[in-house]
Amino acid sequence: MRHRAARFAWILLALAVCLPQPARPQSVVAGAEQTEAWRQQVEAWRAHYEREISAPDGWLTLIGLEWLKPGVNSFGSAEGNTVLLHAQVPAHMGMLTVMGKTVQLLAPAGGFPADMQVDGKPALEGVLRVSNANPSTIAWKGLTLVVLARGDRFVLRIKDADAPTRTAFHGLHWYAPDPRYRVTARWIPYKPPQIEPIPTVLGTTLNMTAPGVAEFLLNGNVVLLEPVLEGSDKSKLFFILRDTTSKTTTYGGGRFLTTGLPDHGLDQPGSLTLDFNELYNPPCAYTPYATCPLPPHKNDLPVPIEAGEQRYLP
């Protein structure tokens, strides 16, 4: 009897070894694969963003911001210029003449420096485009100059591809990707859209269109965030926000998030994906010469968002 029981036990053991083991549920496998694909997508987005920041015309090249006065503003490296540039550029490059709402580029005595260009072509005298969306670009080797409208005034933005802030760049700092900070929000449209006053680091105010508000649950808290549109671009939403990490690990002036549109468009209730792992710093985090918008009071959140870009450490 004992022999038969022992033989029966060996048969059961052999069957257990030979029979195929239960497979992992397909939903678990698919979920793990989707999470890994999402993680790779976040890392790819961050790598692309770092390339943009450190590009020859990226924010790390911004070395100056000069307000232009009405009338003639000369620029070059020689003493006496209205806008004094560093010693490696020509002594007299040109003159920017401000007349009302128009800025005109004029040549100095002796003409424009060799190799100076405007919008990729040899420099010629004429009126410059000053719109923020598509301004004229004055270039000489690695130096670029752009005139921008700021309220009823004009400012000259100066970039240098060889700036130490760019040549010494060693990367940005990020929280590890965390799927908890990828949320689906309820989109509540404003009918009609509202005009939201957005403060800036200059102490001025930008009147930007707010088409609605996103409502979502984050770590047990109900959160409302209001995006704005950048100019006439209705293809994406721009969130300017600050959370409690700005006092410790993230930039004190807040962070930005750019998303696609709600699933039923801007005018209808729907849903919207917010991935806070793609939060990024405003240009003011990298250079003191940027003119950045600040979060409106309603987007100053009393909760931490430990995701996205951390403080920039040069």
Q: What is the residue-level pLDDT of the chain in tens, covering all 314 positions?
A: 444 544 544 444 444 444 444 445 455 455 788 999 999 999 999 999 999 999 999 999 999 999 999 999 999 999 999 999 987 999 999 999 999 999 999 999 999 999 999 999 999 999 999 987 889 999 999 999 999 998 889 999 999 999 999 999 999 999 999 999 999 999 999 999 999 999 999 898 999 999 999 999 998 999 999 999 998 889 999 999 999 999 999 999 999 999 999 999 999 999 999 999 999 999 999 999 999 999 999 999 999 999 999 999 98
Burial 249-284 (b: 16+ CB within 10 A, else e): ebbebbbbbebeebeeebeeebebebbbbbbbbbbb
Question: Is residue 69 domain-shared with residue 107, that is, in the same domain?
Answer: yes
Asked if 161 and 54 count as a contact pair (C-beta separation under 8 A), the reply is: no
Whether residue 72 is contained in a domain is answered as yes
Tell me how crowded residue 146 is: count the other CB atoms within 10 A of its CB. Answer: 19
Task: Tokens 């070395």: give the residue.
Answer: 63
Question: Is residue 258 domain-shared with residue 160, that is, in the same domain?
Answer: no
* The last residue of a domain, from among 103, 138, 167: 167
Q: How far apart are CA 90 and CA 107, in angstroms?
A: 13
Count structural domains, the chain. Answer: 2
Whether residue 6 is contained in a domain is answered as no
Question: Is residue 150 domain-shared with residue 212, that is, in the same domain?
Answer: no
* Token pair in block for residue 290: 């940027």
Output the pTM of the full model: 0.85
Question: Is residue 142 domain-shared with residue 104, that is, in the same domain?
Answer: yes
Question: Is residue 136 domain-shared with residue 216, that is, in the same domain?
Answer: no
Asked if 62 and 157 count as a contact pair (C-beta separation under 8 A), the reply is: yes
How does strand 270-275 pair with strand 117-118?
unpaired
Question: Is residue 268 domain-shared with residue 230, that is, in the same domain?
Answer: yes
Task: Tokens 């689906």: give the residue.
Answer: 184
Whether residue 154 is contained in a domain is answered as yes
CATH of the domain at 72: 2.60.200.20
Domain containing 131: what range?
Answer: 59-167
Cis peptide before 192 (omega within 30 of 0): yes
How does strand 237-241 pair with strand 255-259?
antiparallel
